[in-house]
A and B are shown apart, each in its own frame.
Chain A
Amino acid sequence: TQLLEQSPQFLSIQEGENLTVYCNSSSVFSSLQWYRQEPGEGPVLLVTVVTGGEVKKLKRLTFQFGDARKDSSLHITAAQPGDTGLYLCAARGEGTYKYIFGTGTRLKVLA
């Protein structure tokens, strides 16, 4: 069974600080996605990475896919209260169609 572990589980930081969230597995994935979910809402796709070593930027968010396609990181620069939410990684194994979700990182940015 493929498992995706995210760390940390919870993070509470002050506005303006930087943070990194990690998504790790022992399995190789064909693609990996990051989502953000707010209470009472469905997850919203932030980015998809498919190539080992790939780096994508979305404003203050930087996403990296590990060289071996087993892990990923999400780095937020100068966090803002609007970044508060549950961050989920989801990955698809090679030869499969379903996405497996990580355990999630709950981020709270204090003003």
Chain B
Amino acid sequence: ETGVTQSPTHLIKTRGQQVTLRCSSQSGHNTVSWYQQALGQGPQFIFQYYREEENGRGNFPPRFSGLQFPNYSSELNVNALELDDSALYLCASSLLRGETEAFFGQGTRLTVV
């Protein structure tokens, strides 16, 4: 067990709705990265937060946004949900920005209907 927890584990939303996913990073870790993993694919990088600031972003539209809090936990927000947003959303925490060892949570399975 890595100590990275995500909530909720499963979620069903309707197209057009908004969703917030949460991640509690491992104790002492100040960097959180979010990934989207579609069925049968490898994870795709969404963005990374380091000390409460966005530190890099993948090819995702602005309706994907995030926050990191002073305790280094993080949220991923997705507005105007589309059917293609259905995926497993993973967060990974690491001790330092660019640290080679990152620990993943179990993911949140989002289904958009």
Contacts and interface: CB of A to CB of B under 8 A. Distances in A.
Interface residues of A, number: 25
Contacts of A41: 106-107
Contacts, number: 61
B101 A45 contact: yes
B35 A101 contact: yes
B45 A99 contact: yes
B66 interface: no
Contacts of B107: 40-42
Given A97-B55, A98-B56, A98-B58, A42 B104 contact: yes
Chain B interface bracket (under 10, 10 to 19, 20 to 34, 35 or more): 20 to 34
B81 interface: no
Contact of A104 (B33, B35, B42, B98): B42
B71 to A, nearest CB: 21
A25 interface: no
Contacts of A31: 100
Interface of A: 4, 6, 31, 33, 35, 40-45, 48, 50, 88, 90, 92, 96-104
Interface of B: 2, 4, 33, 35, 40-45, 48, 55-56, 58, 90, 92, 97-98, 100-107, 109
